[in-house]
A and B are shown apart, each in its own frame.
Chain A
């Protein structure tokens, strides 16, 4: 079914709506992307941009009454996750796709030992015996760099520091050797030195295990260091997509450009004043009929109020393969800091 047979994951026109008492919230609007084996896709956007909801929708992890996946396809190795029965989907979650959540403090169960929590997917998905699972759990803990794994297995989450817990979360996500690892802001809650440890670990694991990774973050600095391709989200849709170097060297969307200028640098000349993106992200109570960024955009013109811009390629490659942007405004060629 998947035309570029190379993709492990192929998401097409995904659409998720939350039904609330105040009306509908259109959280994910026709999001399409794909992931090749061994690739790391960075997903950037601020809170409310739809990045986490998109990933939760893939695995249908959102509670069903408020959340409603209105359309789209999520093809994992050619099979549509959205069309699967709950039973089939359960076999995919944790086994084919691993998920690492943001907060290592709350995503481990405090009343079970780490051993229990790492072994659970092994016993459930891979039908391992307890002894096998235990051996594999020790192996996993060693893989993610936890010293004294055999003893640590019998300890509870509170006996671990934040960085260690995040390593455990990664170990659990990796337990069944998934094809895809989705990491939702896995380093945001951690200190910089611990964050650096985790980033090195992930780079290293990727080299060893060769799985594809989706890395969600709001930190462009993290993305710059690890991603192959980047997808920028705003208002529940993809506003720009490009290979990482291209995105940073030649950002097209006014939002991406502004985002790159709002953050101070640690090297180079000190910025006199930070650029500000005025206003707030939109609340998506209606389907988008105009550009979601228009209220905060400095390049806004008439068309922006009338038509929600579709993604258009800017380097001649098909959408989602090379550099594309969802914006009516045509950015002046190259050179980003020159303009106001």
Chain B
């Protein structure tokens, strides 16, 4: 299970997750919150895809819909050969060990009445018929892997610090030897000095176990550090999907550009020189997204076409996919259909 395989382990095609809105006395279906509205990407085995965006852009929903924690409205999610989005319940249950999740808030995602051993071995109870001793042995092994002292095995979550709790969450995700892990803001609730500990642990585990990550975060510097490729989401759609080094050196989509310029550089000299693009206003509601390009209400470089035509995610430079009329309208407005559903895994 070494990396450097060119095959994508995870392929997401046109994933949609709409949450219905019911109003009135008869709970009539009057609309949908289009939390995720047509998202496609691949993740190569052993690599990390960063998924960034502001709160409410749908990044967590993508992660949850991919693992069928929600029932996706449409689209395919192929993980290690199976389309998870359409698997029958029993087949899905068998599939679960290959795909796991690390949640944002270790405080809320661990049952306060269960001990560490119970929490970490719960997936084993569900998916194996091991004996108690075998399970305990595995729990110890996992504790070693994530750097928790074996003496803590019978402690409860409240007896651990935030960083340690997140290690428990990681150990639980690793229990069934998954190949793919969705990390949903795993460090957002932690202190700066603890964040680095958890990030280094995730990197070590990836190297040792050949894991593939979807790393969801709003911390753009940390995503730069971790991910080979990064998808920038805005209002349920991907604005730009590029190799990390290209994105951070020269973002193409105006939203990606604004988002990166808003990140605070911990260097007063640089901070004084940097030009920020301050976006006006807030993110529109996903229940009522703007016509045309989602970003047209805040875009500093908006054109007429943006208010009417939704831009497709197209490869505008080798390996770089951008959904923006700035890069397509100029040359070929109508002829873009041909290379539209252009497979994206070939590069890298």
Q: Are B224 and A196 in contact (CB under 8 A)?
A: no
Q: Which of B124-132, B258-266, B323-331 binds A?
A: B258-266
Q: Smallest CB-CB separation from A274: which chain B residue?
A: B196
**Min C-beta distance of A297 to chain B, whole Å:** 12
| Residues in A whose Cβ lies below 8 Å from that of B192 | 46, 218-220, 259, 262-263
A313 at the interface (CB under 8 A from B): no
Contacts beyond the supplied A222-B264, A277-B193: 5 A-B pairs with Cβ under 8 Å: A161-B282, A191-B218, A224-B271, A262-B192, A263-B196
| Residues in A whose Cβ lies below 8 Å from that of B193 | 46, 258-259, 262, 276-277, 281
A273 at the interface (CB under 8 A from B): yes
Q: Smallest CB-CB separation from A200: which chain B residue?
A: B278
**Min C-beta distance of B170 to chain A, whole Å:** 16
Q: What are 5 A-B contacts with C-beta separation under 8 Å? A: A46-B193, A191-B54, A222-B264, A224-B270, A225-B271
| Residues in B whose Cβ lies below 8 Å from that of A262 | 192-193, 195-196
Q: Are A263 and B266 in contact (CB under 8 A)?
A: yes
A-contacting residues, B253-298, CB 8 Å = 258-272, 276, 278-279, 282
**Min C-beta distance of B288 to chain A, whole Å:** 14
B90 at the interface (CB under 8 A from A): no
**Min C-beta distance of B272 to chain A, whole Å:** 8
Q: Are B54 and A248 in contact (CB under 8 A)?
A: no
Q: Are B224 and A264 in contact (CB under 8 A)?
A: yes
B161 at the interface (CB under 8 A from A): yes
> Once the chains are docked, how many angstroms separate the CA of A267 from the CA of B274?
11
Q: Smallest CB-CB separation from B255: which chain A residue?
A: A193
A-contacting residues, B85-142, CB 8 Å = none
Q: Which of B6-14, B32-40, B197-205 binds A?
A: B197-205
Q: Chain B interface: which size bin?
A: 35 or more
Q: Are A224 and B218 in contact (CB under 8 A)?
A: no
B317 at the interface (CB under 8 A from A): no
B148 at the interface (CB under 8 A from A): no
Q: Are B225 and A274 in contact (CB under 8 A)?
A: yes
Q: Are B224 and A270 in contact (CB under 8 A)?
A: yes
| Residues in A whose Cβ lies below 8 Å from that of B222 | 264
Pick the residue among A164, A265, A278 that contacts B266 (CB under 8 A).
Answer: A265
| Residues in A whose Cβ lies below 8 Å from that of B264 | 195, 199, 219, 221-222, 224-225
A-contacting residues, B213-268, CB 8 Å = 218, 220-222, 224-225, 245, 248, 258-268
**Min C-beta distance of A66 to chain B, whole Å:** 19
Pick the residue among B191, B195, B262, B269 that contacts A47 (CB under 8 A).
Answer: B191
Pick the residue among A163, A219, A222, A276 that contacts B197 (CB under 8 A).
Answer: A276
**Min C-beta distance of B347 to chain A, whole Å:** 19
> Once the chains are docked, how many angstroms separate the CA of A245 from the CA of B268?
6
> Once the chains are docked, how many angstroms separate the CA of A199 from the CA of B200?
31
Q: Are B265 and A265 in contact (CB under 8 A)?
A: yes
B154 at the interface (CB under 8 A from A): no
A69 at the interface (CB under 8 A from B): no
